[in-house]
Amino acid sequence: MFDRTKFVDIEPFDQKGCEEACARLKAHPEYIYALASAIYEGIGDEVNAKRMDFTKAVAGRLDRIHSYDDFQKIITCDVFLKTILENSVSEFTWDGTDKLDKDTSYLYVSNHRDIVLDCALMDLALFKSGLPICEMAIGDNLLSNSFVEDVFRLNGAIIVKRDLPVRDKYLETVRLSEYFVERIASGKSIWVAQKSGRSKDGLDLTHPSVIKMLHLSKKKDGIPFSQVIKDCRIVPVCVSYEYDPNDITKAREEVITQQKGSYEKGRWEDLFSMIRGLREFKGRIHISFGDVLSSDYANADEVAREIDRQIHSSYRLYETNWYCYDRVNGTDENRDKYADMDTERFMSRYAHLSEAVVSFILNGYANPVRSYLEALRP
């Protein structure tokens, strides 16, 4: 039996918590308006009218929310994501949901490109396919204020505490392991990124520590690693974006890290990244659900390799990927794959940047092609 009392500070809101959080939102519509402002850029009566319509649409549904499932379906899917798709996505598609069972819980492990949208859009694909939506693991570094925390926990967020002393961090990781394994056993699916933080270079590689974490709470009971992996029913998920709204920001951060040895984020940097990810044009987005990992895996490295293989072979590669791949390789052998692309317009966005930053950006778009081709090699 899943004991929620052990996880009250990190789990999504229960019914009482959801209703209290919705009451806070209803009492402060300016917070909802602030979210609308993150989606709708600009000034003037027309933009303000859109923000007000969004605010009213959300506020008008809050009395119907009694669980985070309600919030995800009634508000996140039906208002928030609907608005995002209309404003900044030209096409949203998915495949692989036909392989999933609506009565089975899974651990979805995906590549991670956008702070907010990766899991949210995966949930939308599940919801549209008639499948249960899931909880999602997020770092507490994203919880910049109480409103942001309310919104995340109303969306099924599991809080991962990052900045802890070594011993406390280990104990917290064991507790997180227990939550994951027991929550999935209780019938609820969970989403987790394949590594801490977003992929900045387009190289989507699963960190074995994410997989090792799953076994920590069951080691003491003598349950084998391979059994825990089977019980979690891991499904690799591949998220592909045509354009990354944060490509410049990610590249600058990484180039500074390479040049100076470290990069210290500003207080609001993650929040600004979230806003850019929501607001700016993303073009086409595709989500591909892989096959459940059901083999007997000896260790976390084997599991990570299989997750990577499935993600890399499932990329939806767009003109941006193929163009950048050819450009960084000094060839045009894939010209037919981006023949209709306005490459000059694409490159003009980076005209003001240093050569090192531009190179990092182009490789970020090209690396999924490299990984895809490598995954297809016999």
**CA end-to-end span of the chain:** 45
User: 90: closest CA among 309, 320, 332, 362?
Assistant: 320
The mean pLDDT value for 169-174 works out to 94
Q: What is the pLDDT of residue 378?
A: 80
* Residue 269 and residue 336 in one domain: no
* Residue 143 and residue 277 in one domain: yes
Taking only the tens place, the pLDDT of each residue in 107-143 is 999 999 998 999 999 999 999 999 999 999 999 988 8
Q: Band of the pLDDT at 145, cuts 50, 70, 90?
A: confident
Map residue 115 onto helix, strand or coil: coil
Show the domain range for 285.
Answer: 4-12+89-316
Determine the Cα–Cα distance for residues 175 and 216; give it in Å rounded to an integer: 9
User: Which tokens is 149 given?
Assistant: 């925390």
Residue 56 lies inside a defined structural domain of this protein: no
* Residue 302 and residue 376 in one domain: no
* Residue 336 and residue 286 in one domain: no
Which letter does DSSP use for residue 75 in this model?
I
* Residue 311 and residue 323 in one domain: no
Taking only the tens place, the pLDDT of each residue in 43-80 is 899 999 999 999 999 999 999 999 999 999 999 999 99
Determine the Cα–Cα distance for residues 229 and 296; give it in Å rounded to an integer: 8
Q: For the chain, how many residues are written?
A: 378
* Residue 258 and residue 347 in one domain: no
* Residue 264 and residue 139 in one domain: yes
Does residue 267 surpass a pLDDT of 80?
Answer: no
Residue 210 lies inside a defined structural domain of this protein: yes
- Specify the range with the lowest mean pLDDT, choosing from 23-27, 163-167, 222-226: 163-167
* Residue 329 and residue 245 in one domain: no
**Average pLDDT score over the chain:** 95
* Residue 221 and residue 143 in one domain: yes
Residue 27 lies inside a defined structural domain of this protein: no
Which letter does DSSP use for residue 63 in this model?
G
Does residue 337 surpass a pLDDT of 90?
Answer: yes
Residue 79 lies inside a defined structural domain of this protein: no
**Which of 273, 296, 316 represents a domain boundary (last residue)?**
316
| Lookup result for tokens 């507490």 | 140
The mean pLDDT value for 264-288 works out to 90
Sort strands 234-241 and 283-289 into parallel, antiparallel or unpaired. Answer: antiparallel
Pairs from 358-362 (Cβ < 8 Å, separation ≥ 24): 358/251, 359/328, 360/201, 360/251, 360/254, 360/255, 361/247, 361/248, 361/251, 362/324, 362/327, 362/328
**Which of 316, 337, 366 represents a domain boundary (last residue)?**
316
Q: What is the pLDDT of residue 250?
A: 93
Which residues does 377 contact at the CB level (< 8 Å), separation at least 6?
A: none
Does residue 274 surpass a pLDDT of 80?
Answer: yes
Q: Band of the pLDDT at 1, cuts 50, 70, 90?
A: low
The mean pLDDT value for 23-33 works out to 95
101 alpha carbon, distance to own chain's centre = 22
* Residue 373 and residue 305 in one domain: no
Determine the Cα–Cα distance for residues 2 and 187; give it in Å rounded to an integer: 10
The mean pLDDT value for 73-90 works out to 96
Residue 58 lies inside a defined structural domain of this protein: no
**Which of 266, 287, 316 represents a domain boundary (last residue)?**
316
Count up the domains in the chain and report the number: 2
Residue 96 lies inside a defined structural domain of this protein: yes
- Specify the range with the lowest mean pLDDT, choosing from 110-124, 137-151, 329-343: 137-151
* Residue 339 and residue 221 in one domain: no
Burial class of residue 370 (count of CB atoms within 10 Å of its CB; 0-12, 13-18, 19+): middle
Residue 63 lies inside a defined structural domain of this protein: no
Residue 28 lies inside a defined structural domain of this protein: no
* Residue 245 and residue 341 in one domain: no
| Lookup result for tokens 């919030």 | 71
Give Cα separations from 68 to 71, 126, 314 (angstroms): 5, 15, 30
User: Which tokens is 268 given?
Assistant: 């609001």
